[in-house]
């Protein structure tokens, strides 16, 4: 996992936590209160771990900002410039570079992790699709 990526172990539980934050209605169902948005990174990690979503959080993250879209406000989250450039350089220049494809892509589309034998152009194509998909669909 690249040093800049926040990773959730159980995407179903993560999705239910996000649904709870968005609606104020418990979608997790474990008698804990997830309706209060976490104020900082330690509180976020604690909520995820308590719910069973699990969190792999890089030490580089020091601040947390949660923004909710509305019917009249479009929120577009774009990647960090340095992290994106580093990932592209790694995929392009490192013959052993891999790319961890989210599990739901594997289930729904038969995609697979990019391994060292995958051509660089294909790694960059999959990376662009994953970033574009996440950016346009993550909070509609």
Q: According to the model, what pLDDT value does residue 39 have?
A: 95
Residues 87, 129, single domain; the answer is yes
Examine residue 100 and state whether it is found in any structural domain, yes or no.
Answer: yes
pLDDT reading at 76 higher than 60: yes
Q: According to the model, what pLDDT value does residue 64 have?
A: 94
Examine residue 125 and state whether it is found in any structural domain, yes or no.
Answer: yes
pLDDT greater at residue 33 or residue 107: 33
pLDDT reading at 23 higher than 70: yes
Examine residue 46 and state whether it is found in any structural domain, yes or no.
Answer: yes
Specify the number of domains making up the chain. 2
Q: Which of 93, 11, 108 is nearest to 56 (CA)?
A: 11
Distances (CA, A) of 54 to 14, 45, 76: 8, 8, 25
Q: According to the model, what pLDDT value does residue 114 have?
A: 65
Question: Average pLDDT for residues 120-131, to the nearest whole number?
Answer: 73
| CB proximity list for 125: less than 8 A, separation 6 or greater | none
Domain that holds residue 41: 7-56
Q: According to the model, what pLDDT value does residue 118 have?
A: 75
**pTM for the predicted model, two decimal places:** 0.70
């Amino acid at each position: 996992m690249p040093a800049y990526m926040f990773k959730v172990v159980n995407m179903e539980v993560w999705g239910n936590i996000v649904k709870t934050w968005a609606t104020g209605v418990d979608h997790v169902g474990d008698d804990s209160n997830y309706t209060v948005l976490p104020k900082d990174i330690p509180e976020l990690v604690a909520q995820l771990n308590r719910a069973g979503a699990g969190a792999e959080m890089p030490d580089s993250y020091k601040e947390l900002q949660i923004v909710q879209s509305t019917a009249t406000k479009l929120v577009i989250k774009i990647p960090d410039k340095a992290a994106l450039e580093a990932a592209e350089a790694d995929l392009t220049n490192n013959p052993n570079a891999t790319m961890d494809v989210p599990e739901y892509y594997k289930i729904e589309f038969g995609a697979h992790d990019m391994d060292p034998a995958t051509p660089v152009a294909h790694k960059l194509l999959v990376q662009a699709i994953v970033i574009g998909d996440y950016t346009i669909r993550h909070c509609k």
